[in-house]
Amino acid sequence: MKRNFQILLLGLIAVLMLSVAAKGQSGSEKVEGTWEVKPEDADLYFEFSTKPKDHKGNSTVSEKIKRSDLTGFKNGNNISFSLKKRGGEIVMTGDVSSDKGDGTFVFTPDNNFVKAIADEGFSGLEPQVLLMFTLKDFDPDYIKTVKNLGYKDLSKDNLIALVALDVTLDYIKGIQKGNLKDITVSQLISFKALGIDPAYISSMERLSGGDLSAEDITSFAALKVDEAYASAMYKSGYKLSGKELITFKAMGIDPEYVKELAASGYEGLSNEDIVQFKAQNISPDYIKEVKSMGLKEKISADLIIQLKIFKVTKDYIDEMGKAGYPNLSAEQLIEFKIFKIDRPFIEKATNFVGSKPTPEKLIQLKIAEGDHSGR
């Protein structure tokens, strides 16, 4: 699961990096492209698209912009308006009606802004990245502060992801409090992408009864383990550790499943047993099927798990009965299944011995035959 999540996260970061493909461009180079706008609450939601120099795909960045930050914005045809931030100026031309519209734009990075970022060790950033930084109103001093918080080897890719995800300095400081002082920048990015905040971390630590690693918390958030789920499982009789919460949620074990098993005669299962029940897809219908098999002993949790694993069915029990073994115990049936004992083998063994072998003798003969691999 961890590996799958890392793959998904890399894909997310790739998107957040604006699909940058242009290499070796100068930081002050202008960017041209298209824009679209629509109203969102009291602000305006803009989407800017550019075509990289290799003409493969589009780079797109979106941002909500305050009307007061725009100069000359109005409804009309062939209008021109602009947005100026510390990172540079975006001049837009196009048509707008009822605050909806589209057109073309030219972005000119601010040379002092580009130099300030370069002075912190990030020179030669692609114009599309500078456009995103400008829309986020990025402050180059952010880099120095992040490094002072323990991330001196900050990479370009990680910086871009931090800015794109709006990872603020207050957010980093909040996450570093408590038991996560040594959290890596990659883990911080994962946390922000998954919506993990200090309050969520505190609630998960409280509910799991102990300290959690960054990997545990990431897994919680990816699986949507929250206070409501942990509390519901606790009320169902399962006070779970952090890793058990992850396992239960990943397996799809919920209070309803626990109630269904209890109503079918399996109440108070251990954590390990209920995980095995779910892994083997042991449902109320299967439990009902086992009860119809006519087995005389009480079927424990361990036995029903083995019956399911080795596919002991009513048809198989009937087959063994017709072959002369009508009163086999559940354990004997499981052993028969393990060693692949069927009617043709029973007939062959009977002919070899001269009489009906005992169940134990049948197994010995099967072992001697050397055909007991698999199930």
Quote the CA–CA distance of 83 and 67 in Å, as a whole number: 10
Mean pLDDT of 220-243: 89
The ranges assigned to domains in the chain are 10-20+27-148, 311-375
pLDDT for the residue 208: 73
- Residue 356: count of CB within 10 angstroms of its CB: 13
> In the beta sheet, which residues pair with residue 49?
34, 60
pLDDT band at 243 (very low <50, low <70, confident <90, very high): confident
Quote the CA–CA distance of 146 and 49 in Å, as a whole number: 29
Residue 51 has pLDDT above 90, yes or no: no
pLDDT band at 240 (very low <50, low <70, confident <90, very high): confident
Indicate the Cα dihedral angle 301, 304, 306, 307, nearest 10°.
170
Nearest to 277 by CA among 266, 291, 288: 266
Q: How high does pLDDT run on average in the chain?
A: 88
CB 6 within 8 A of CB 72: no
pLDDT for the residue 242: 84
> In the beta sheet, which residues pair with residue 172?
none
> In the beta sheet, which residues pair with residue 71?
82
Q: What is the pLDDT of residues 60-84, one digit of tens each?
A: 999 999 999 999 999 999 999 999 9
pLDDT for the residue 186: 95
Q: What is the pLDDT of residues 325-355, one digit of tens each?
A: 999 999 999 999 999 999 999 999 999 999 9
Q: What is the pLDDT of residues 2-42, one digit of tens each?
A: 444 444 444 444 444 443 433 333 446 889 999 999 999 99
227 Cβ contact list (under 8 Å, min separation 6) = 203, 204, 207
The token pair at 109 is 């990075």
372 Cβ contact list (under 8 Å, min separation 6) = 338, 339, 340, 366
Residue 144 has pLDDT above 90, yes or no: yes
Region of 166 (left: φ > 0; alpha: ψ -120 to 50; beta: rest) is left
Q: 130-139, 225-234, 284-293, 316-325: lowest mean pLDDT where?
A: 225-234
pLDDT for the residue 315: 93
- Residue 245: count of CB within 10 angstroms of its CB: 25
pLDDT for the residue 59: 84
Q: What is the pLDDT of residues 176-228, one digit of tens each?
A: 987 888 899 999 999 999 999 999 988 888 877 767 889 989 999 999 888 88
pLDDT for the residue 17: 44
CA 14 to chain centre: 17
pLDDT for the residue 27: 47
Q: Please say whether the dihedral angle defined by the alpha carbons of residues 93, 95, 97 and 101, taken in this order, is positive or negative.
A: negative
CB 196 within 8 A of CB 172: no
Q: What percent of the chain lies above the pLDDT cut of 70?
A: 89
pLDDT for the residue 64: 96
pTM: 0.71
